[in-house]
Structure 1
Amino acid sequence: MPEVIFPGPEGRLEGRYHPQPKKDAPIAIILHPHPQFGGTMNNRVVYNLHYAFHNMGFTVLRFNFRGVGRSQGEYDQGVGELSDAASALDYLQSLNPNAKHCWVAGFSFGAWIGMQLLMRRPEITGFISVAPPANMYDFSFLAPCPSSGLIINGTADRVAPPKDTHTLVNKLHEQKGITITHQEIEGAGHFFEDPHMEEMIGSVDQYVRRRLTETTR
């Protein structure tokens, strides 16, 4: 999988890009957890999401936010990281102008950034939000949430407690015109340690494949 360096708002950003042979393959961007708590694009959840999407036929890009790895700049409270994500999506789209569908997947802090990106980019057709930290960040900007997606979390998550995720999901369920699917992995913590990783990725795979089938009918 080629390493890529592409321009971001504060200098270069480092990523991993995994194309498909089909020119009109759907595209997906994967966003990593909090940079100040060890989050990188090589986080296990992010890595597994990346390959799950590629195995489903997506051209995939994951990258390091500013100040992480070889990405330039420094942590910017989520504001700059959202700009980084927008630049990454621009880059991915520039390489794949014929892509039929565009998805965003994020884990933890990356889920928060991903949901904000969703609000800015109407071309995003679906999202995966893994363990969104609804206890730490305000998700009220999702009014209305512009596309359907999957929110998935573990029942034993102590970083982003399930009760806060339930509150977020219930708020989104009240909105018309979109479908928020919510799944919980029994016994899984925030990082989906084995054996829960396989179950979580399996749920994501099943959800995305179902959505793709519905859109191609």
Structure 2
Amino acid sequence: MKSPQFEQRFIAGPAGRLDTLVLGSALDGSPRGIALVAHPNPLQGGTNTNKIVHTLAKVLSRRGYVAYCPNLRGVGQSEGEHDNGQAEVDDMAAVLTQAQADHPGLPLVLAGFSFGTFVQSQLAARLGEAAVERLILVGPATAKWDFPAVPASTLVVHGEQDEVAPLAAVFDWARPLNLPVVVVPGAGHFFHGKLTLLADVVNRWFGAATGQAGGAAAGH
């Protein structure tokens, strides 16, 4: 297994360049897929250097994916202005276009944390279920943003003691979708001291998942 490092790239987006960190596949040989990882709310300091973003990217890299972690518009060195999760979907779609040009024909994983889950759930809805191999939502703030419906195979991970996105609101959103939620005991919104457990949850979900039925298998 290789030990790739994050590399900075600038990708053309609809509002200008997008400052993006790319982490190659850690597996030998060709990558098995591409992954896009979206950062938390920039109005609270969220960027692509967030620890949960990097945790997700590293898990996906070890699974053989090339992970693209952009700063969305108005964040870091990315151009444009913050748009509360609306036009940011277009930014992520532009990163996807570049990723697919770099690695054509590979399966796609979308992952996000907090604000990033709102962006990625919208992109998944736009692309359609057949286009997204897996969707990973960590700490979705479902009380703050109007989330679309997501596939039943989606992995939702939430902290029991989330002080930003109340767990009860996530259950209210997930209940009519019959969507399992993996609750990490004792974890707050930023999973301080729980990042290894978060990585384990994602890894177990990949190990148990089979096709589109994967999320439910690991969602007990």
Q: TM-score w.r.t. structure 2 length?
A: 0.87
Per-residue deviation, 1:147 = 5.8
1:189 equivalenced with 2:188 (yes/no): yes
Per-residue deviation, 1:98 = 2.9
Deviations along 1:90-138, one digit per CA (max 9) or x if unpaired, are: 1111111031x21100000001111111101131121110010011111
Cα distance between partner residues in 1 of 2:151 and 2:157: 18
Deviations along 1:121-178, one digit per CA (max 9) or x if unpaired, are: 1311211100100111112x31xx34621001011001000000111111211xxxxx
Aligned residues: CA RMSD: 1.6
**Residue segments in structure 2 that go unaligned for 5+ positions in a row:** 1-5, 212-220
SS of 2:87 mapped into structure 1: helix
Residue 3 of structure 2 corresponds to: none
Equivalent of 2:45 in 32, 38, 44: 38
- Amino acid aligned to 2:196: E
Equivalent of 1:162 in 153, 167, 174: 167
**In the alignment, is the contact (CA less than 8 A) between 2:111 and 2:136 conserved in 1?**
yes
Per-residue deviation, 1:181 = 3.5
- Amino acid aligned to 2:165: A
Cα distance between partner residues in 2 of 1:131 and 1:168: 13
**Residue segments in structure 1 that go unaligned for 5+ positions in a row:** 174-179
Cα distance between partner residues in 2 of 1:146 and 1:121: 12
Equivalent of 1:132 in 120, 140, 163: 140
CA separation of 1:48/1:24 partners in 2, compared to 1, >3 Å: closer, same or farther?
Answer: closer
SS of 2:61 mapped into structure 1: helix
Matches within 5 A, 1:172-211: 172-173=177-178, 180-194=179-193, 196-211=194-209
Cα distance between partner residues in 2 of 1:31 and 1:25: 20
Cα distance between partner residues in 2 of 1:46 and 1:188: 16
Percent identity between the two aligned chains: 31
Per-residue deviation, 1:24 = 5.2
Residue 102 of structure 1 corresponds to: 108
Per-residue deviation, 1:200 = 1.3
CA separation of 1:12/1:104 partners in 2, compared to 1, >3 Å: closer, same or farther?
Answer: same
- Amino acid aligned to 1:95: D
1:113 equivalenced with 2:123 (yes/no): no
Per-residue deviation, 1:80 = 1.4
Cα distance between partner residues in 2 of 1:187 and 1:70: 35
Cα distance between partner residues in 2 of 1:136 and 1:115: 14
Deviations along 1:1-59, one digit per CA (max 9) or x if unpaired, are: 32111100100001111233544511110000011110000001111111111011111
**In the alignment, is the contact (CA less than 8 A) between 2:89 and 2:119 conserved in 1?**
yes
- Give the paired residue count: 203
**In the alignment, is the contact (CA less than 8 A) between 1:125 and 1:148 conserved in 2?**
no
Residue 90 of structure 2 corresponds to: 83
Cα distance between partner residues in 1 of 2:206 and 2:10: 28
SS of 2:204 mapped into structure 1: helix
**In the alignment, is the contact (CA less than 8 A) between 1:126 and 1:147 conserved in 2?**
no
